[in-house]
Structure 1
Amino acid sequence: MNVSLSVWLLTVAALCALVAADFFIGRKPHDVSVREAGTWTVVWVVLACLFGLGVFLFGGGRPTGEFFAGYITEKSLSVDNLFVFVLIMGKFAVPSQYQQRVLMVGVLVALVLRALFIAAGAAIISTFSWVFYLFGAFLIWTAWKLIQDAKKGGHEEEYEESKLLKAVEKRFGVADRYHGTKLWIEQNGKRVMTPMLVVMLAIGSTDVLFALDSIPAIYGLTEDPYIVFTANAFALMGLRQLYFLIGGLLKKLVHLSYGLSVILGFIGVKLVLHALHESGVHVPEIGIPFSLGFIVLVLAVTTFTSLRASARQERQERQEGQGRQDGPARDGSTV
């Protein structure tokens, strides 16, 4: 898709305006209701669909398929990232009314990091075509690791602070409690960080790890930097509202990691086949329509099996709990 510099600048300006509007609308700390989160989630999805329609009108069917395949993939990876956000919020006991501010900063950091990674990826790909082998191998390895983590319970583990974050805390000191949305305060004559800044740094640092998975994944679906950037941007900008909307549902998506591992492994194989094709080896390549259909099918099956397994587990726990309550009564009635 041939995109001029003016279109790039206009797109970035429009996305910045949307982010600014989202920030100012929700700038006052408050508990986000399900209705508010649901409304804004729908708004971001509709905006992404409208952008996809614009891509179709000006670029045709192929770029449109690449955009929606990338958008759905990045959105599904973002949902998996929400598990980590939940652990971080719990680790630092972030008050509910401040969680949206933390997530907003985390999304902004993620957008900046993705932009840098996308630019670097585009430069590397244009110079070294063999990098697709590395991207493909990395995604296949990541898919395998996701499966292993899922078997071990994965997201049920506690969040552990990185050595870098601990070093920063030791260097500057941390206040003993939250002070609204302030990031720095004066304590005992010394300027120290607040827990709010610490949790923002924790989420920001995890964004780097998230980008290591997502950028190679979307470059496996399209080599167009414009599509890569916009798909990532629209996927991330609705992440804050999605956190509050499906927070309780996350624990029920017990098979999500398996579904994501299948998707990442599929894209990894697609990248390797593409690299072989570019090297002159006659191998079949996987088209965008098939990729889009495969990704949607895997996510649909994963969601269905997850909800079904969670419902079965809940019924079993209720039956066991009911059995423990009724047991003593039946015993007592026979005495």
Structure 2
Amino acid sequence: MKTFGYTRAGTVADATRAGGRFIAGGTNLLDLMKLQVEAPDHLVDITRLDLGRIEERDDGGLSIGTLVPNSDLAADPRIIDRYEVLSRALLAGASGQLRNKATTGGNLLQRTRCYYFYDTAAGCNKREPGTGCEAIGGFNRIHAILGTSDACIATHPGDMPVAMRLLDAAIVTQQPDGDKRRIPIGDFYRLPGDTPHIEHVLQSGELITHVELPPPPPGRQVYRKVRDRASYAFALVSVAAAVAVEDGTITSAALAFGGLAPMPWRDPAVEAALVGRPATEAVFEDAADALLADARGFGWNDFKIPLARRTLIAVLHEVTQ
């Protein structure tokens, strides 16, 4: 690990003006620094900021401070009662020890687990722009089948952000000049295109302070994660769903996906294939067709296409029972 400067911020304003990388739990960033995948010159410790609370909003939603640990968020009675999909997603991620340290804001910003991204001897446009993508044509079993480009096929690794995408969360930030932004999560992440190293819309010094959840969606909520082992493994495919059914007809549907794309994935065509139609196998197949219409495998990860189909259909059966 290379030497770096360190500042402990006392206020949000101090943090945004300190000129460095923010660190709280450090469950992803410290690993990247040890491997010299990232080598920031300066770290800004934000753990002393008053951003660790979950608060009620006037609209019936919740405001979640960026420093709320994943374990506390998953166990909060309001989350369990109103946003079960989020609690399930959080508990599906990492290990109990890591959930105790990992924070809400940091979880949103965790970086891909692509093997080539972590190997500093390999070509990786996300780590070092212009060096190529060795995952294309390489061992790409965990890689994306949706939203890829010729420059990058890495997947977003998170569980919590998939549930947040389903719930239409908004990310609240503060910039060094004191201005605040409220960014819908659907606008927060960027597809790789020609610039896979730019993963989100945050600007230099901009700090996530809160995540806002609107009132919970109607219907039953489910999170299903398919992975190589039962714990401490990233998703090959995950599905977050909130579906309401009345008299056998689907009246509302929200679906988000992990393990398939460079960002938490949501496609309005999938939901449109369900709403107003009967909860039948044929309709579920139509939704899967909509999800996978533009899917592309790269050899080792071709299996994700039928796996995503089966997982989505199984979740739809579960959520519409």
Higher-Rg structure is 1
TM over 0.5, shorter chain? no
Higher relative contact order (CA 8 A, sep 6+): 1
Structure number having the greater helix percentage: 1
TM-score using structure 1 length: 0.26
